[in-house]
Structure 1
């Protein structure tokens, strides 16, 4: 098998070079039950042909790339067939097949292309288009049918990208019709002999002897009665016979037929649509027991009888968590009810398949909350017991409207992970390797995890730094053309939609510096992606002046995507030299690190911002870069090496600015407890969100129904001490992917109703937002206390010792860091000053001796900064004798004698000083 991307243009070119009349064509297409799939090729030529150079390729789900293929070998005689079978097909196919191949792993919505030395000679379906579940025109459908090429068709369909109408060249036969395989009736082929008329069937008798549903299901994973024709009876619990339904219905055992074995299910799916049934019908069915992709069902139904109507079947109550997912085998086909609050943990398949995963709680990646290895694996093992998939009872893809939420999904009416539902009732089925519930009662979801606006900047903060993965923002040629690009938007229309959402998100964050990931790596010129994005930001947010760091290179590293830095030039300015390194391990896999230093225009705070995008977890490498089964995925070793090298590079101050305040933001492709994040911590760069939260329950990404943080902000110790708030803004990870900017697989109506220019599902990663309180750095002169000049105080003579004269006026510009701790006073020993700056009487004051005291005072702070000497004047007020007498009159009688006693002494004191 090989994989090659063939664009629609390449396919057209290839078709033009194909011969006008090909000798080899696709003559029969079988898409049957289970693995009954086969392709018949027919040699139209009158001579033998070599099959060397012929390749049959499979294009799945609208892809323009070959997903699987088979190179043919050998020769093929004139007017004969060559059959390629699924390896697990029925014996009737395998017995006549020329070869088996996984190229037959197709469904009704997949295309097939037959090429000769790269030139298209025939095709089936329309490459590059996903029709939903099938191509269907004129009563001919490509799903669950056998199709034979009309006798009149002798040349191949060489335009594989043109619209495909199967009725033009194909005739339809019932599912699992194999009798014509191996003989093509056109150009010398021989038509198969018709089957004899079947013997008439004996009518079904309700209530007669029957096989119990529990016996059909058995106690194991597979029915013990596979390929056995049986007659069963039960009550219809769910009807999915309609268009785009499951092509059948579910029944449950009659109450009298329920056995006592809890391991045997009492429900069964009947694959049959020819006779309509309704929920509540009591039916008897004759058919053959089948295991369809490990799901037990009754197929090849020959008869059905409705024995009664309006019967009531009770749902069996089950609950999560289970001991094991395998426990659901005992309920396969049964009507069940989960009467508990369940949380939406995965909505990725909501738009495409109508699927929502529910669990007892939000489920986390093992390595987000536990150390890699046994602990993380235990978390994931527990996760599996807590979840179940809610399906929509339909095989249709891209349904309009989607099944959930009940009012219909739209850009404004979302269904986010973290939302809840209080009860689920439906039938248990098994398909695509997963147990699921098809509801019989429409579930009512509650917006428990409602959308939130961008977080307001903390009142303490004066700086905001953010990290944002912009999900392959490619701008074509920057002038409206150049589409499709290798990533991102496929057209200018999609770019406009993508850009509007990104601009809405970034402008709402109001961050002073934003580190970006997954932006097109096309330099910094006028038409570059980074220039286009910044121009769009400035057009939308006129209150700010956005700019980008220009690294003065045509591209950073060798990858198609890179990292970038944008900032608000009205808030910060660049200082130092923007830096890049492409040294190992950044010469491949890990994207090249970038860094630049900035200074706040309001506080002069200097800090360095670096951006990382480490190697992803997919497409494993060798040895230690393989998936070691510890929960960290592929390429863990090289990500960990990057963490060490990144830290050393930043410690070396690559921007030339010798400042310890460093923050590293970006998509590390590693969850919070994985080796790279712990290595950063070891090197002194702390996980800010986890440090502030005190746990690792934050998340920025959702994968396979598990939340976790791939996006991190890591700070040096000095900068961490200045962080006052940190959060992941959940605008993307919680939202259904179908709400993004893409137009593929969406009807015209959905392209409008599922899209809004707001920030929600602007990307697949949530931004990380960090608020910082700058440290005000003052010069020694700016830190020094200042005593106000020309201060004058008054105090009456004779005032008591320790009387407070007044409060010295002074300022302390750095009181939070180095407060004033004392004062020095010279000029008089009659006045003192305390640590608070209060002037105090220290000895007797006599107006006649000294009516004015001039002091020199200095303040000292905790950093030993001393203010300039400042003169302060104390005026002594003379107190007249009658004022003294009046004051004394206010005293109580017992003190009158003291006044009389002191009077002569006062006269004597005045006399002596003349």
Structure 2
């Protein structure tokens, strides 16, 4: 919650507001001046929590003092620097827009109250923006600098609100045309975001909750309260359009000490059987979060990693795989897992477009850009796993110019199996020279192979430049473009207080897509029958403006759009199964067999956060 500085908690077992203020004065926490100022700007006597929460996202008492606010402690966060407790009024009003609970922030001080305590709370009402107000997220209404009086203990807790299809509206958020929805009246029967906000801090519950986002390193997972809505073929929740962000998704964390109960390690499609209950919180790493005081029992649905078929003799297999910041500093176990997946799960593709290959020193910012050691370790691991003796081609980037983890100098690279496909090496490619298309013998030819597409264009500022290679398979040329478009960093979240949220990063991706589209048009202008495969982590959805720009004019077909709808995903983010990686083909590439091989994104145990893909066709 709020930074711990200037945050102290005064806990007393006195019953009157006057004695609380007197105690604060005696302890030196308030000066007579500040105490009088607080009195002059205090909420009316008899203020209750629903008055503090109000009917919008911002408390009508923000910045003001409240005294003697009654409630029952429903949960305590006794760890970290954002400690505190939730208080809920057992006597709610009749307005469903007003939450009946609030978080009392104690900073780094461990609360001394216990669950079931009836308390009177005095302090300052504030609005806290996790991640900072500029990040665009919602605020959390809380009471800070609190003085607390316990009037009784062992009280029955208010019953939780059950999150379900019956209690969550289908529409996600009001449309403010990109503006803030903070001051709009909450309409919890109409919008899911308003429903969640109207329950801020209150006890909520999900029953037999389907896991849609695997357990992460921070002991969090995602469930859905709408298990039948947009369900994928393997039990996740499909993100298929901007208009439907899947309102039932809720993050689950735990207030239960791990010594008492370890956090469940769940994969997508598993279930938290029974009830998962706790106050509804909000943070900048996923939005509305059920802080569990009771966790359902994990039911393992035995999700299996997929294996694709082997390509036939006459088929060329082209794959793409984001290997997530791979460098010599990466543990050997990850190299081995990536290698095993390439050999067994992907059946040793003939060509692999890799993304996020780091330089020889990894994240050390030491001006090293060569990646020979990284690629050597990977290809050695592939051979050790029984795979082919892959060769590679790549171009070192200019130091610090291609984005990604600082110092890592991530780039795209090609692996290829020389026993089945040859690489046409054409000198002249470097980090700053643009590859051109020429025509020779009625065919398209690259000026350099490998080469980079328009590396000097500002569309590639702080982003990876596409790598183009000319391959030959059984005497036929195939052009492959390996891509890693700019990330979504800086975009507002789906749960942003600005609706619809701004997707500022897609402007650059759309410019990048136009450049790749233009390059493919050059290839087709030189040879209308050119066989072109565009592959990689495009960091955007099949329905996005960037993919529209990439496929404009019908020069490329996005193969993910030809899959059954429930299979269109290879990445899971905040409980949404979605598309970021793509393989696209020119018109001449026909009769394809395309497969997203689910081995990572749905699992708590991952070698990468992306699933690889493979395309098989007969040139």
Sort the TM-score into its range (normalised by shorter chain): 0.5 to 0.7
- Indicate conservation of the 8 Å contact 2:127/2:142, yes or no: yes
Of 629, 634, 638, the match for 2:507: 634
Task: Give deviations 1:712-771, integer Å, cap 9, x for gaps.
Answer: 2222334322x2x322122333345xxxxxxxxxxxxxxxxxxxxxxx532232211123
**Larger radius of gyration, structure 1 or 2?**
1
How is 1:286-301 mapped onto 2 (pairs within 5 angstroms)? 286-293=121-128, 294-301=139-146
Equivalence for 1:471 = 324
Equivalence for 1:515 = 353
TM-aligned CA distance change 1:446 to 1:459, over 3 Å = farther
Equivalence for 1:562 = 411
Shift of 1:556: 9.3
Of 572, 578, 588, the match for 1:708: 578
Matched residue count? 501
Structure 2 Cα separation of the partners of residues 575 and 277 of structure 1: 72
Question: Secondary structure, in 3 states, of the residue corresponding to 2:254?
Answer: coil
Equivalence for 1:761 = 606
Equivalence for 1:593 = 467
Structure 2 Cα separation of the partners of residues 334 and 525 of structure 1: 54
Task: Give deviations 1:396-419, integer Å, cap 9, x for gaps.
Answer: xxx978x9xx6546xxxx433454
Structure 1 Cα separation of the partners of residues 597 and 295 of structure 2: 31
Equivalence for 2:248 = 386
- Indicate conservation of the 8 Å contact 1:287/1:301, yes or no: yes
Structure 2 Cα separation of the partners of residues 531 and 697 of structure 1: 34
- Indicate conservation of the 8 Å contact 2:83/2:110, yes or no: no
Shift of 1:290: 2.0
- Indicate conservation of the 8 Å contact 2:391/2:416, yes or no: yes
TM-score relative to the length of structure 1: 0.47
Shift of 1:616: 0.8
Structure 1 Cα separation of the partners of residues 546 and 195 of structure 2: 37
Shift of 1:647: 0.9
How is 1:422-433 mapped onto 2 (pairs within 5 angstroms)? 423-432=275-284
Structure 1 Cα separation of the partners of residues 254 and 98 of structure 2: 25
How is 1:682-721 mapped onto 2 (pairs within 5 angstroms)? 682-691=553-562, 693-695=563-565, 698-703=568-573, 705-721=575-591
- Indicate conservation of the 8 Å contact 2:140/2:282, yes or no: yes
TM-aligned CA distance change 1:268 to 1:548, over 3 Å = same
Question: Secondary structure, in 3 states, of the residue corresponding to 1:672?
Answer: coil
Of 385, 389, 397, the match for 1:541: 385
Structure 2 Cα separation of the partners of residues 243 and 524 of structure 1: 42
Of 642, 647, 664, the match for 2:520: 647
Shift of 1:695: 4.3
Question: Secondary structure, in 3 states, of the residue corresponding to 1:352?
Answer: coil
Structure 1 Cα separation of the partners of residues 307 and 352 of structure 2: 14
Question: Secondary structure, in 3 states, of the residue corresponding to 2:99?
Answer: coil
- Indicate conservation of the 8 Å contact 1:339/1:424, yes or no: yes
- Indicate conservation of the 8 Å contact 2:222/2:249, yes or no: no
TM-aligned CA distance change 1:271 to 1:316, over 3 Å = same
Shift of 1:496: 3.0
TM-aligned CA distance change 1:455 to 1:216, over 3 Å = same
For structure 1, the residue ranges without an aligned partner over 5 or more in a row are 1-32, 35-106, 109-141, 147-176, 181-191, 200-208, 371-375, 476-491, 622-626, 737-759, 776-914
TM-score relative to the length of structure 2: 0.66
Structure 2 Cα separation of the partners of residues 271 and 614 of structure 1: 42
Question: Secondary structure, in 3 states, of the residue corresponding to 2:74?
Answer: strand
Question: Secondary structure, in 3 states, of the residue corresponding to 1:214?
Answer: helix
Shift of 1:699: 2.0
Question: Secondary structure, in 3 states, of the residue corresponding to 1:429?
Answer: strand
Matched, 1:416 2:267: yes
Structure 2 Cα separation of the partners of residues 288 and 526 of structure 1: 57
For structure 2, the residue ranges without an aligned partner over 5 or more in a row are 10-23, 36-44, 129-138, 170-190, 361-367, 403-408, 427-447, 492-499
Matched, 1:262 2:96: yes
Higher RCO (C-alpha 8 Å, min separation 6): 2
- Indicate conservation of the 8 Å contact 2:453/2:516, yes or no: no
Structure 1 Cα separation of the partners of residues 46 and 110 of structure 2: 22
Equivalence for 2:335 = 499
